[in-house]
Structure 1
């Protein structure tokens, strides 16, 4: 019957306060709160006893509220994204349901990366960089000044490698996996050698060692520690750089561009560059022989102590625990390990914080004769595999879903033109 058909949705349709509240799923008082905050406009009808609201405006606000609710976590309103890659809970973390520390200590970085990408273990897998890709990446990196940061080198190498890949716009799983298996070794191969030796074959950790340490013949324990560090850092849920990668993938940027987005975020001092700050702190403690004056200087300058605490681990960072256990098997790491313990114990007098993976990385890089930026390089190379995993997952989602709506808090339009 015609009297049961919905009213036409046009500019003249107005809703009562009760109707607006029902559409928004809130109490009538909340509707007027929206009006006071400028999120809704109201109009009192002639002869009417209450206000009315533009139906289209109310519907638009209801859609925004639904998006905000869908993208919020129950604990604090932070953006949450459904993922099958990494879970962090109870001071442990898991790659596709398997304990990440167990994977990292029993398998190589390349094997862990394959597990993250495909959910299948490929024992003995190694990554090989195409000659053409390495050549163009090295030429690009060689043009940069000597003081360029590691992430500068890696970003440039990533962009250069993309230009050498004519099928980079193919976002199918097989194509993206092919990109992943060649891009990571290309990034390592593009880095300048730390000494006279530059290895381009064998396990990725051995190749990376020659870019970070001038020591020509590393012992097996040191190489194992580096390889395990790479595997431990492959992924860590939606860290800031990983979110940037997913945003790029949501817009259907190719894998090289998505990795470049991650590299643009990772060099922040609160993310990938944190290990460099911990390295410098550790060197200062080693030089002075006592953590107390070094910690005092840091606090006096208003700086937080790097390498301590992690917002996702109320207890001990499992990555740090695993890496420290391996470093204890390296005799020359003992001074740095003792200095790190001194930092934790000195700080614990005022704040009971555990060492995080940045401090463990600092012990590794310091004891192996690597520069302060080495931890950032290790972090970036390792995390590239995780970024690829998240990009692959995002390519399977609805395009542009990572496009939140802004909550405008400026002057309500229309405003007059500025003079």
Structure 2
């Protein structure tokens, strides 16, 4: 029987505010009013109805799903919407839901400092244990960023399986619809089927798409015609109801798709670790270069492709080196390591640029506003520490 893994990533950053040169010294870095407004909306449109929908389908059809939930989202839910964490716990308690580890701050920590990368993974693992009484055995880096070295690190931390993009860069002409093994160790890899995932995540509401409208009937037939052992459908959880509104029929689509899978028994749904253990690995993969699930390039250009992004990252690295032993400053720098801060600075255009703008525009009008604010905050931190050290 062919397997399916449904994996959803849930994340909200702690967004910084517009921070001009004249704000330096105020130390009011974060736009928490905006963060709460956005969270309130996403809870209403996505988290609550989508979690309830998935719970209902677990009960009806024994569907299995996997989630990763960033530490920054968990913090905001603890503050403003603890009922959503209770709802997530209810799903986990069914035994049909796997929680995946990641960096606590959904961050570029791997690009900043390897020890910090490990520390953020441990922080997230501790938080997941605290909230859900759950020990994760699988790992995903932010936006599925991965290479051999990341595989070495997470395997050394005890993880059995990692997620990344099923791009031709690593597969060549092989299919993503199998379990693979990292060549350098025994870490299993599940690879996103980006075509089938993006048919929902990016093309569902595209009226210019030749397959529009996408119905559950059509999609289910596509799944049935897909060869391989395991089909990995990975996407942002916020796709359901927030990025793609309820009025589009997205909830009806998922309910019907789960019904087909549950009733027809053509497919078996698996959690991530279950799938990695159930199927023999197809082949070994060597992944020397960093890949991701972002943009057409499937690389890191979404975060460090432009000179302003690289300048910001270099400055952040410098401050990490200087102040990593200062607990208060390190905590602030960790929020600033969140990948969204760099994503907002992207100067890309065309379709990828539109996606960057969609996520940025509630916080900043332009990439340059994001960059200027970010750099002024870093300058403020550095100046504050210089004054403190003199005293």
TM-score (norm 1): 0.21
More strand by share: 2
Larger radius of gyration: 1
TM-score, normalised to structure 2, is 0.23
